[in-house]
Structure 1
Amino acid sequence: MASYEVEHSTTPRDTSADTTTTAATGPSHAPPRRPDLSTFFATLNEIAPNPSETRSRPYALPVPGDVSAAFRSLAEAFNIMRREGGVSAVGEGDFPVHDGTEPDISQEEEGSGGLLTEMIQVLLREAEEPPREVEGVGDEFCDALERVPNQSLKPSQTCPICNNPFLDDPYPLVVRLPCHTTHLFDLECVRPWLRLRGTCPLDRVDFGAKEREKEKERLERMLKRGQVRAGEDEEDEEWDGMYG
């Protein structure tokens, strides 16, 4: 995954400028940086490498423990984001616990902080009962998401996941999910969820399932083309035998 600076085409931010003072407003603090996701993406690349990468065992399933580790790693990162954002829906500093029920994240109000808490609970549920393989989307899907121009953003618009106003970021990178025109997210917030779960956090539209179906159709077409070529090769061999 590209770094924050590369993704936003900017230079590393000077942390000494996090706090500024003005005569009119007094001290002001820059929005907290998102937690480091390098461990999460390293784990994810082990269990769900990009299709362009060559694998020695392409059909091997990942180890369940590694899949669980990816879900828990993202849950912990989101919990750091939840605490730093001041969300206390389940208690100040508490780590949301999966209680065995199916979290209904589609009913959470945007910007309430409840969405992030429910997303964490979903991840913890998956960590306890991991799927056989990761069902998220590829990097290509995330890279192709529609970018929302900064000029069209309003100061009141916030990311449903981190609950920070988009324009608080000096270099906002906001994307629109294809399921609904109003489903806008900060790419850094929604990318890890899409890569791991493959669904829209708001309405659960499963982009991962659609990608898997397309991949299945692609492989079937390749298989058919391979069978046709094999048949043509057999016919060529028969003709060669006759002339031999």
Structure 2
Amino acid sequence: MATQYEGNSPTPYPPRLRAHPSTVEHNVQFAEPRRTSRRVDMASFFSLLNQLSEPSGTQTPHNNPHATPTPVDTAALFRLLQDQLQTLSATAPTADNRDFLDQLVASLEADIHDPPTTLRGASQEFVDSLDRVARKTLAADDDCAICKVPYLEDEWCLVVELPCKGRHRFDLECVGPWLRSKGTCPMCREEMGRKKPPPVVDDDDEDDGDMMYA
């Protein structure tokens, strides 16, 4: 059901088209198509994301420096992510994977029905800097918690390890959209890539410090 931010007017994002094999995502260019099964198409997601402000809110939109993202824009972005997770859930190979994906889908409802005015996800620089996991260290049954495709079945798979306490690993293509929009680890929900606000200094503490040097 459409929310107050999703009417019958033309959608603010381009129609979904499978990205060309040479499309560059996450600063990594792939020469061949990847994963014919369990492969999500995030071309529309990244197209809309590029029109919005950076998650930090300190940079202007790429295509229109005078534009300000609206709740309609951010709701549409979260809806695109939710749609793709629902597609994966519908073809989940295990009940546990379906439950996990359904939890991610449900967690996006609040963002769709009451969207933030700015995205609070991790920056692209943070995503690009994630630790890559060497292929030779992967076991045959190691797989991505999102798509559940064993890493070694994909010749071109890029596995990244998040800096959360659980050091959770994912296929970069799977976890990238979640990080850019939500800014948390999909598994433990620990916040990723956000700058911590400066500590608040109590006025009394400042006064005490001044008296020491009086």
Whether TM-score is above 0.5 comes out as yes
**8 Å CA contact retained: 1:157, 1:166:** yes
Q: 1:92-241 to 2 correspondence within 5 Å?
A: 112-180=97-165, 182-208=167-193, 210-211=194-195, 213=197
SS in 1 for 2:136: helix
Deviation of 1:134 (Å): 0.6
Tell me the matched-pair count. 173
**8 Å CA contact retained: 1:31, 1:164:** no
**CA distance in structure 2 between the aligned counterparts of 1:84 and 1:54, rounded to whole angstroms:** 36
SS in 1 for 2:160: strand
The structure that is helix-richer by fraction is: 1
Does residue 42 in structure 1 map to residue 27 in structure 2? no
Deviation of 1:126 (Å): 1.2
SS in 2 for 1:32: coil
| Partner deviation per Cα, 1:100-136 (whole Å, 9 max, x = no partner) | xxxxxxxxxxx63322111111112310111121100
Could you tell me which amino acid in structure 2 is paired with residue 12 of structure 1?
A: E
Deviation of 1:11 (Å): 2.3
User: Which residue pairs with 1:68 in the alignment?
Assistant: 75
- RMSD, matched Cα: 2.9
| Partner deviation per Cα, 1:9-31 (whole Å, 9 max, x = no partner) | 542249xxxxxxxxxxxxxxx76
**8 Å CA contact retained: 1:113, 1:163:** no
| Partner deviation per Cα, 1:30-89 (whole Å, 9 max, x = no partner) | 7615221111111122222484858634xx7521111110000110011112223345x5
1:151–1:195 Cα change, 3 Å: same
Larger radius of gyration: 1
Instruction: Show structure 1 runs of 5+ residues with no match.
Output: 15-29, 90-110, 215-244
Match 2:32 to one of 12, 20, 44: 12
**8 Å CA contact retained: 1:119, 1:201:** yes
User: Which residue pairs with 2:5 in the alignment?
Assistant: none
Could you tell me which amino acid in structure 2 is paired with residue 43 of structure 1?
A: L
**8 Å CA contact retained: 1:137, 1:211:** no
Identity level (%): 35
User: Which residue pairs with 2:84 in the alignment?
Assistant: 77
**8 Å CA contact retained: 1:31, 1:168:** no
**CA distance in structure 1 between the aligned counterparts of 2:85 and 2:150, rounded to whole angstroms:** 17
Could you tell me which amino acid in structure 1 is paired with residue 151 of structure 2?
A: F
Structure 1 residue runs of 4+, over 4 Å off?
2-10, 52-55
Could you tell me which amino acid in structure 1 is paired with residue 31 of structure 2?
A: T
1:126–1:165 Cα change, 3 Å: same
